[in-house]
Each structure stands twice: as C-alpha cells, then as structure tokens.
C-alpha cells in the first residue's frame, strides 16, 4: 500500500459538483492499494501517518503530528499510485488491486484512521468515482509512505 500524504491548510473532494469531504488544517492522503496488501500494511501506515511530525510548533519547527494540532484528514483512493511506466508511454496498472480486493482494504484503512483520530476527523472520497480533489498544500509538504518499501 502506498500513501501520498500532503500537509494542507485546506482540502476538499467533489463528486458531480457535490462536496463529499472538506477540511481545513490537516492531511490529504491519497491511497494506492495493491493485491498483496494486508491488515498489517494498514496498521503500519496508519500508525506512521498519525505520528508524522510535519506540523510546525510555536518556534516554526516541524515537530507536531496531526493529532497534536487537532487536524483532520481526507483519505482518497487512487489506483494510479501503482502505475508502472517501465514500458512505453501508457502506464500499466497491473499492480493496483481490483475493486473486489481494494474496496474492503480501503474501508479498513478508513476505519483504522477513525479509531486513532475519531470519526469526525476523517473524511473520504468515493471509491471509483470521478473526483475533483482541491487542496492548498501547506509548505509545500508532501511525504510518500510505502508499506512494501519502509525505507522509502
């Protein structure tokens, strides 16, 4: 499982011009799920994400995590995070999990974030929908976590 985590001062997700999630200070998380992902991948990524010290303290040093600042998150599924561009110019998505595998894992990921942060702190996109994602990347700060490559 791969997460692209962006520190935001605001973010929202629209589907068919309807806002399905909206936050102010917090994290916009794009989640790519692959067939080999398990509950262990989810546990690792949720813990790591919630403990990332990427928010500024009173001295302007990135020393606080999303919980310490009372921030919220939005989790959006994005199969293109597992695109392979090794051959040719058309990306291959063969590593991305099929919906029958990805949907339950995406829902587990959301539930795991809710257990740590609380239900009202976690917004989502709509799996498989054509979404418009808006964000103001604060910093900019963008972190990539990959449960299969933990040194990344």
CATH, domain range 2-146: 3.50.80.10
| Domain ranges for the chain | 2-146
Query: What would the two tokens of residue 144 be?
Result: 């990539």
User: Which amino acids are annotated catalytic?
Assistant: 80
pLDDT tens, N- to C-terminus, the chain (152 residues): 999 999 999 999 999 999 999 999 999 999 999 999 999 999 999 999 999 999 999 999 999 999 999 999 999 999 999 999 988 899 999 889 999 999 999 999 999 999 999 999 999 999 999 999 999 999 999 999 999 987 75
Place of tokens 């040194």: 151
- Can you give the pTM of this predicted structure? 0.95
Residue 147 CA: distances (Å) to CA of 31, 41, 47, 133, 139: 11, 5, 11, 24, 25
143, with CB counted inside 10 A (0-12, 13-18, 19+), is middle
């Amino acid at each position: 499982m791969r997460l692209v985590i962006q520190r935001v001062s605001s973010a929202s997700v629209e589907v068919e011009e309807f806002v399905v999630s909206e936050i102010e200070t917090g994290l916009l998380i794009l989640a790519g799920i692959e067939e080999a992902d398990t509950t262990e991948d989810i546990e690792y990524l949720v813990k790591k994400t919630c403990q990332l010290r990427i928010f500024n303290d009173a001295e302007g040093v990135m020393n606080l995590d999303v919980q310490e600042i009372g921030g919220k998150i939005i989790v959006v599924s994005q199969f293109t995070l597992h695109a392979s561009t090794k051959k040719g110019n058309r990306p291959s998505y063969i590593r991305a999990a099929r919906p029958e595998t990805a949907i339950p894992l995406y829902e587990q990921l959301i539930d795991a974030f809710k257990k740590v942060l609380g239900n009202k702190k976690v917004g989502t996109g709509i799996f498989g929908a054509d979404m418009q994602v808006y964000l103001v990347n604060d910093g900019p700060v963008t972190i990539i976590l990959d449960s299969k490559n933990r040194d990344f």
